[in-house]
A and B are shown apart, each in its own frame.
Chain A
Amino acid sequence: NAGVTQTPKFQVLKTGQSMTLQCAQDMNHEYMSWYRQDPGMGLRLIHYSVGAGITDQGEVPNGYNVSRSTTEDFPLRLLSAAPSQTSVYFCASRKGQILEAFFGQGTRLTVV
């Protein structure tokens, strides 16, 4: 099993550009989430999904969109990149509500 796969690993964007961070898992997990990690801030939840077709906002959703058309994929879209979105982004998946989360390798995004 590949687990949780994120692409790309690194990305540099110009302010105002849009892009999609990809996340795929092959473990048939129902729950998927996107977090951003900034120095001293821990992991903050952006959006999450409890199954195909169902998404909801986390703590810091502004500037990001998600969709969940399949169980496997949970892409994160930056609509108009801003320097404040410079961060490391992690996708995570879980089989059930109280089970462990598996994280992808992360995407390091820089917005200039």
Chain B
Amino acid sequence: GQQVMQIPQYQHVQEGEDFTTYCNSSTTLSNIQWYKQRPGGHPVFLIQLVKSGEVKKQKRLTFQFGEAKKNSSLHITATQTTDVGTYFCAGPRSGGSNYKLTFGKGTLLTVNP
């Protein structure tokens, strides 16, 4: 079945460096969502992208949805220790149904102060 692949699995940066995680799907997605999970916590919704080529910003976070709606990225500018956590992308299962929300395996970000 359709999978949402996410890379890298881990990323360690120095505080102040930038960070990017990528999400790729073998099929076109109707929408894609991004979540953040702090260590020991639960996933928390960050944003949803729906339109082809869409770019959204939240302070130092920039989210993009590819033109073909098969890939997405999350970029963090000048990371801070508060950015530590696992970032997940999530998209609906293939076949048109949005009932099943499928998550990538996540990218664990650690930040060295």
Binding site for B on A (CB under 8 A): 31, 33, 35, 40-45, 48, 50, 56, 58-59, 90, 92, 94, 97-106
Q: Are A41 and B99 in contact (CB under 8 A)?
A: no
Binding site for A on B (CB under 8 A): 6, 9, 30-31, 33, 35, 41-45, 48, 50, 88, 90, 92, 97-106
A94–B104 alpha-carbon span in the complex (Å): 18
Chain A contact residues: over half helix, strand or loop, or mixed? strand
Q: Are B99 and A43 in contact (CB under 8 A)?
A: no
Q: Are B88 and A98 in contact (CB under 8 A)?
A: no
A103-B43, A103-B44, A106-B42 given as contacts; is B31 within 8 A of A98 (CB)? yes
Q: Are A90 and B43 in contact (CB under 8 A)?
A: yes
Q: Are A100 and B42 in contact (CB under 8 A)?
A: no
Name the one of A31, A42, A102, A104 contacting B99, with C-beta atoms under 8 angstroms: A31
Shortest 9 CB-CB contacts between residues of A and residues of B: A97-B98, A42-B105, A100-B45, A43-B103, A103-B42, A103-B43, A42-B103, A42-B106, A98-B31
Q: Are B102 and A45 in contact (CB under 8 A)?
A: yes
Instruction: Give every chain B residue within 8 A of A44 (Cβ-Cβ).
Output: 103
Instruction: Give every chain B residue within 8 A of A97 (Cβ-Cβ).
Output: 92, 97-99
Q: Are A56 and B43 in contact (CB under 8 A)?
A: no
